[in-house]
Structure 1
Amino acid sequence: MSLPRRALVAAVAAVSLLGLAACGGPAGAEAELAPAKGSTAPDGTTVNLTADQKRVTTPKVDAVAALVPEEIRRRGTLTVADNLGTTPPLEFYADDDKTVIGVEPDIASLIGNVLGLKVEFNPVSWENIFVGLDAGKYDAGLSNITVTEARKEKYDFATYRLDILGFEAKKGSGLKVTGAKDLAGRTVGVSSGTNQEKLLIAWSEEDVRNGLKPIDIKYFQGVEFYLALSSGRIDAYVGPNPSLSFHAKQSGETEVVGTYSGGGADVLGKIAATTRKDNGLVKALNAAIEETIRNGTYAQVLKRWGLANEAVQSSEINPPGLPKTAS
C-alpha cells in the first residue's frame, strides 16, 4: 500500500485504525480499504475525493498578471511546492493516488487563474519546500505555512488563511486543552520542524517553570499518529486544526479537545503563500489573492472544504509573524 493511499484511507475513509495498521499486502488492502467517492468536511460539507475536482475558477486579470516577474511570465507556469499530499482537507491525494486536491491546491489554482499561469504542483516533504524555495526550484510554497519573524528573514509572504491549531484526543478521554497546564505530564504527539512543535516545547518549559511536570513530546512525520492515539500511546496530538477536525469527523473515534492560535498568545497566526525573499513575486501573489477575495471565489473554496471560519478579510504582505522567542 502506498503512503498516499494509506494517508487518504486513514484520514478520509473512516476505517478502524487498528485494522489499517494490520492490513497485509497491497492487493488485499486496496480491495478492503478503498475510500468512498465522497466524504465530510469539519462543518458537515460533502467533499469530492475524485480526480475530477471541478475546481472553482476565476478569470485572468491582466493588471495583476503584469506584476509577475518576466521570467515566470515567459515560462507560463507557476511552480508550487506542497507537502506530500497527506493532510486532508489541506492537501492530499484524490482516489487515483496521484491528483493533489484540497484547499491549498484550490487556492494555488485560483492564484494561477488570476495570473494567467498554469500551476505545477510539486508534492515534497516539509523541509524540502524550503530547500526548493531557497534553490529557486519552486516559485512559491502553499502548504499551511505560518508567517514567522524568523522566516521573514528569508521569505516573503502573502497571507490567505488564519492559522488555527487543534488538539486531537481519543473520544471520551475527558481532556480539554486551553493552555500549557492542561498538557502537563501528558504524552503529546507532534510533527517535528513545525510551529506546533515550538508551541509544545514552549508550553512544556512553562509547565516546568510553574512547578508542573513537563510535556512528554513524541514525534510523528506521518499518519501513524492516528494509531498512537487509538492505542493510547499518546494522550493527544497537536497539528493544523483543519486536518485534525477532518480526521475526527471521519473516524468517529477521536475528537478535537481544544484549539489555539498558531501564533501563540501574542500574535494572530496567519497562513501565507511563501516565496523567496525579494524575488519580485510576492506583490503578484498578494494582488491575486485580493482579487479572489473581492470576487467571491476565495470564499467559495473555503466553504467547499469546510474552512469558512479560517477566512481572512484581506491578504497582507509580510504581516507581524510569530516572534523568534516563541516560534
Structure 2
Amino acid sequence: MKRKSTNTEIPIYHENCILRGSGDFGNLTEIDQEKIESVQPCGSEENKIMVEINLPTRKDELFLSPSVLCKILENYKNQSACSENLGMGRVMWRDHRIYIYKHGKFDIRFATSEDDAIKTMNSISRLVLGSVFCEHCGQPALECALGRCGKCLAGNHLKSSEFFNAFNEPILEDGFGLVIGVLRQLINLVSENENQQIPFESQITEIRDKIHEGIELFLDFLLKSSSWIKIVSSIDLISLSLELVVTLEKIMELERVVKEKSEIWENVFGKINRFIKMILENFVSILNIFYGNSIQALENIKENEVGLQELVSFFEKSEEDVFNNLVTIYERTSLNWKGFLEVYS
C-alpha cells in the first residue's frame, strides 16, 4: 500500500486518561524499587528470587479488569493462562513466571535480582496496560482506546513521524498486514455475494486465526516499545483488532438468524450485506489513519457513516429482531470511529 504522508496522526487523550501517561497509574512502564513489597528466595531454583510488587489502589478497588486481562492473555502466545473468576493471570516471560492479580499485585518468580524483577515488570506492565482501569472514565484502557469510552479523547491529534517510521519494523508491518488482509478478504466475500447470504462459516476459522496472529504481533511490538507514543498506538491497534473479532462474532450470530428465516429475508440481503461491507470498510479506514493515509480514510468513514445511518433508520422501523441485532452492531462498532470523526473534523 502506498503511504501518502510522512507522519501518522495520533489521537491525543485527556490529560487524566491512563493513555496520556499521567495520573497514578499513567506511565506503568516506570516501576521502581519503592513498589517492591517483599523478596524471597525461590525454593525450587538456587540463586533465584521471588519478588512481589504492589501498585497502589484504594481499598477494595480493582486495579485491572479480569475479563479484559484474560482477553489480552488469550491472544499472547501459549505461555499464558488466565482465570476471570479468580481475577488472576500468569505469563511466562523469558525465564520468568509472572502472576498478575486484579488488585494490582504482581509476583515475579525466578528473577536473578531486584533490578531484574523491575526490568521484567516494566515489560509486563505494558502487556497488561489495556486491562488497567482509567481513573478519568472508569473503564479499562482498551475502552479508552480510539475514544470508545466517550470521555478520554482530548479533541485533538498530533503528527508523529515516530510511529509512522515504526511501520518499518517487520513485527508491526506484519501484524498490520494480517489484520487489514483479513478485512479485505471479508469485504471481497461480501461483494461477491451482494444479494445473497454470505458464506462466512466456511472461512471464519482461518479469519479468526489470522486476526489473533495479528494481535499477538501487536502485543509483541507493545512489549518491546519504550516510547509512550508507540505504546499507546499499539494499544489502539490491539483494541481495534479485538473489536473486529467481536464484530465478526455478532455478524456470525446474525447470519445464523437470517439462515433460519431465509425465505423471509431474501429481499433484504442487499441491505444487510451493504451494511456489513460499510462496517468492515470503516475498520480498514481506521487502520489507514495509523498507516499515514488519514485524509482519504476520514473521507471514506464520513461517506460510509451517511449510508450506515440511513440503513440503521430503515432497520429501526422494523419490528423484527434480526434488524435490532443490526442496530446493536452499529451502536457498538461505530464507537471505534465516531471519536476519530470528532477529533479530525
What TM-score results when the alignment is normalised by the length of structure 1? 0.25
The structure with the largest strand share of the pair is 1
Higher relative CO (CA 8 A, sep ≥ 6), structure 1 or 2?
Answer: 1
The structure with the largest helix share of the pair is 2
What TM-score results when the alignment is normalised by the length of structure 2? 0.24
